[in-house]
Chains A and B, each alone.
Chain A
Amino acid sequence: MGLLRWFKRRLVVIAGLLTLGYLLLPNIVVTVFSFNNPKGRFNYEWQRFSTDAWTDPCGVADLCGSLSLSLQIAAWATLGATVLGTMIAFALVRYRFRARGAVNSLIFLPMAMPEVVMAASLLTLFLNLGAQLGFWTILIAHIMFCLSFVVTAVKARVMSMDPRLEQAAQDLYAGPLQTFLRVTLPIAAPGIAAGALLAFALSFDDFIITNFNAGSTVTFPMFVWGSAQRGTPVQINVIGTAMFLIAVLFVLAGMVISNRRNRQKA
C-alpha cells in the first residue's frame, strides 16, 4: 500500500524522467560510439574502445570542410534572419499599418509548411531562374526559413515590454534614435538573442532544404547523410558529441555568470 502510494504520487515525475531518458538515449549512444573502433565501414556495432577518432577528428576527407561550411552558413543566416526578423517584429508590435493580416500570414506560413514543400518549391524557382546552386542558394533558403522563428521570438519579448519605458526615454530628452539604442534595444536584447540562437541551431542542423538547394556543395548534415549510405566514420560521433558538450557548457557558464552577478548586486 505504501509503495503504491509512493509510486502514485511520483507518477508524473517517473513518466517525465523516462521521456527525458528517451530524449537523451541517442546522445549517450553517439558519445559512447565516438570511442568505438568499428570493424567495417559502419559504426553501428560496438567493437572495442579507442580514442583514435578524438585525437584525429579531421581525419576523414571533407568532414571538417563541410563542418566549417555549415558554421559559416549558420553564422551568415543567423545574422541575416536576426536583422530582418527583428525589424519585422518591431513593425508588428509597435506600429499600425495596412495589410497586417497578410504580413502575419506570410510570417506564419513558413512555420506551417513541411520543409520538403519549401525545399521543392524553392528549387523550382532556382531552376527556372537558372541560378547556380551552392553557397548562396543555401544561404538564401536558410535566411528564409529562420526568419519566421526570429520574428516570433523577438515579438514575444517586445510585446511584453512596457511601452511607457520608451515614452519615459522620450520624456527624458532622448530622441527616436537615442531611445532605440539606449532603451528599446537593450531591453529587447534577450528576445533577439533567443531568436538568433534558434536561427543558428536551425540553420546549422538543416538537412532537407539544404539537400534540395545545395547542388554539389556539401554541408555537415549532408556529409552525414552521404556517409549513412557509404559508411559512417567515427569522427561524425566525435563532432556530434563535441557540439553537444560545447552547447551545454556554454549555457551552464552563462547561468553561473548571471547567478554570480545577481548575487553580487543583491
Chain B
Amino acid sequence: MITVTTNNSAKNTAKNSAEAGGDVRLCGISKTYGSFTAVRPLDLTVPQGSFFALLGASGCGKTTTLRMIAGLEEPSSGTVFLGDQDVTNLPPYRRPVNTVFQSYALFPHLDIFENVAFGLRRRGIKSVKKQVGEMLDLVQLGEQARKKPHQLSGGQQQRVAVARALINTPKVLLLDEPLGALDLKLRRQMQLELKRIQTEVGITFIHVTHDQEEAMTMADTVAVMNGGRVEQLGAPADLYENPQTTFVANFLGTSNLIEAEVDARSGDEIVLRAGGGKLVLPEARCSAPTTTGGKVLVGVRPEKISLTHADEAGEIPAGRNRITGTIADSSFIGVSTQYVIDSPVCPEFEVYAQNIDRDPRLVPGAEVVLHWNPAHTFGLDAAQDIDAGIETVEEEGAAA
C-alpha cells in the first residue's frame, strides 16, 4: 500500500506547512438557500495538523460547511479564517486549500499525470515532472501515469484524487465523503492509509462522512452535525461514552434509552425510578438539569450490559443497575451474540454479549436480569426526541 514513511519529500512538506501554519476558524458562518437553512450560524476551530471529521446524515449541512471552507459556496454570514488570514472573500482558486471531491471529480480528458500536475501548472510551475513522479510513487500509481481515469479501479482513482490535492501542499485538505464509492474492505484499507498519510504530512485534514465508524477510526476530533448545527464535538471515545444528546447517542453506535424520573440525590449520584425499579446515574454523566420528580432519559450502551438468567439473579453483585425482562430475539454474530430484550421499561432493549461462556438457557422466551455498572450510565434531557438519529442511520445504510 502507500508507503509514506520512506518518503522524504512528504516530511519536508510537513515541516513546511507547519511553519506556514494556522488553525481553520469558522466564525458565525451560516448558509441559507431561500427559506431553507443548510447551516445555522456556526463557530468552529480546527486546530492545525489535526484530523477533523464532520459527521452527520445526508442533508445535515456537513458538506455545505466543507464547501464554504473550500470557497465553493459563499457563506450567507460569518467569516472563514485560515490562520490569521480572512479568506471569506477569496474565490476557491486563491485559497491555499484543496479538496478531495466526492466521487473524485478526476478530469476525464486528462491522463493521471496531467490530473496530478493540474494544480502545479495553474500556479505557473514549469518543471512538474519530478514532483508529480514522486507523488505518484507515493500513492503507488507510478506505472499508471499515462492512463485515463476511467481505466483505473475505484481505489486507484481515489488515490489519484488524494495525490492531485496533496501535491499542492495545501494548508488544509478537505475530504468530501472520499471513501463513499469504495467497497467495504477497500474502505477499511483506505481509512488506515489516509490516517497514515495525514500523520506523515502533518497537514490539517477535514473529513466529511456519514459513516460513524469511519469518523471514529480516522479522526482525532469529530463534530457530529444535525439539522445544520453541531450537536457535539470531541474525541471519538468521548463522544461515544458521553453523548450529550439523543441524536449523538443513537447516531454514534447504539444506545438503550429509558425514560426515568428523578427520585433522589445522594452525594454525586442521582437515583432514578423507572418502571418500578431503581437506577443510579453519576451526576457528572448527566447533561440534563435534574430536579426531583423531573424526567431524564437514561442511556446505556448494549455492550456494557451483562445478562444473567433469572434463576441466578441472586448471584449478581450489589450496587449494579438492574432491569428484568424476557429475551425476545437473539442473533449469533460470531464474536458476540446480540439479544433483544423485552422489558417493562424499554420495549426493545439491546444487549451485546461476548461469546466467552455461552449460557444455553439464554434463548428467546427466557426470563433474564440485565445489569451494569452505574458508571456506564449516562443521562440526557428528556425533552428531546428519544428516537433522534435512528431512522437517518438506516436511510444512510440503505443509500450506501
Interface residues of A (CB under 8 A from B): 162, 164-165, 167-175, 178-179, 182-183, 186-187, 265-266
Contacts and interface: CB of A to CB of B under 8 A. Distances in A.
Given A168-B99, A170-B72, A171-B98, A183 B107 contact: yes
A265 B102 CA distance: 26
Interface stretch (B144-152, B192-200, B356-364): B144-152
Interface stretch (B46-54, B116-124, B218-226, B271-279): B116-124
Of B99, B123, B146, the most chain A CB neighbours within 10 A belong to B99
A171 B151 contact: no
A247 to B, nearest CB: 26
B168 interface: yes
Contacts of A266: 151
Of B72, B91, B164, B168, the most chain A CB neighbours within 10 A belong to B72
Contact of B119 (A162, A165, A173): A173
A186 B109 contact: yes
A175 B91 CA distance: 9
6 A-B pairs closest in CB distance: A172-B119, A164-B105, A173-B122, A168-B105, A170-B92, A186-B109
Given A170-B72, A186-B109, A265 B147 contact: yes
Nearest to A186: B109
A188 to B, nearest CB: 10
A182 B91 CA distance: 18
B70 A171 contact: yes
A172 B122 CA distance: 7
A172 B92 CA distance: 8
Contacts of B147: 265
Contacts of B168: 172-173
A171 B123 CA distance: 12
Contact of A173 (B70, B93, B146): B93
Given A164-B103, A171-B93, A265 B118 contact: no
A199 to B, nearest CB: 23
16 contacts: A165-B105, A167-B70, A167-B101, A167-B105, A168-B106, A168-B107, A170-B72, A171-B97, A172-B119, A172-B164, A172-B165, A178-B93, A179-B93, A187-B108, A187-B109, A265-B148
A178 B109 CA distance: 15
B21 to A, nearest CB: 20
Contacts of A265: 146-148, 151
B61 to A, nearest CB: 18
Nearest to A165: B105
Contacts of A167: 70, 72, 92, 99, 101, 105
Given A173-B123, A175-B93, A168 B151 contact: no
A174 B70 CA distance: 14
Band of interface residues on B? 20 to 34
Given A172-B164, A172-B165, 19 more contacts: A162-B105, A164-B103, A164-B105, A165-B108, A167-B99, A168-B101, A169-B107, A170-B91, A171-B70, A171-B97, A171-B101, A172-B122, A173-B93, A173-B94, A173-B119, A175-B91, A183-B107, A186-B109, A265-B147
A182 B92 CA distance: 16
Nearest to A183: B107
A173 B165 CA distance: 11
Contacts of B107: 165, 168-169, 183, 187
Interface of B: 70-72, 91-94, 97-99, 101-103, 105-109, 118-119, 122-123, 146-148, 151, 164-165, 168
A206 to B, nearest CB: 33
B99 A171 contact: yes
A262 to B, nearest CB: 9
Contacts of B105: 162, 164-165, 167-168
A162 B102 CA distance: 11
A41 to B, nearest CB: 54
Contacts of A175: 91, 93, 122
Contacts of B93: 170-175, 178-179
B132 to A, nearest CB: 13
Contacts of B98: 171-172
A266 to B, nearest CB: 7
Nearest to A174: B122
A167 B63 CA distance: 14
A250 to B, nearest CB: 22
A266 B144 CA distance: 10
A162 B108 CA distance: 10
A167 B146 CA distance: 23
A117 B151 CA distance: 50
A77 to B, nearest CB: 28
A179 B121 CA distance: 12
Contacts of B92: 167, 170-171
A171 B102 CA distance: 13
Nearest to B122: A173
A179 B72 CA distance: 14
Contacts of A186: 109
Of A168, A170, A175, A179, the most chain B CB neighbours within 10 A belong to A168
Contact of A171 (B72, B103, B106, B148): B72
Nearest to B98: A171
Contacts of B118: 169, 172, 174, 182
A172 B106 CA distance: 12
Contacts of B97: 171
Nearest to B67: A167
B122 A178 contact: yes
A129 to B, nearest CB: 45
B116 to A, nearest CB: 10
Nearest to B108: A187
A266 B72 CA distance: 35
B81 to A, nearest CB: 19
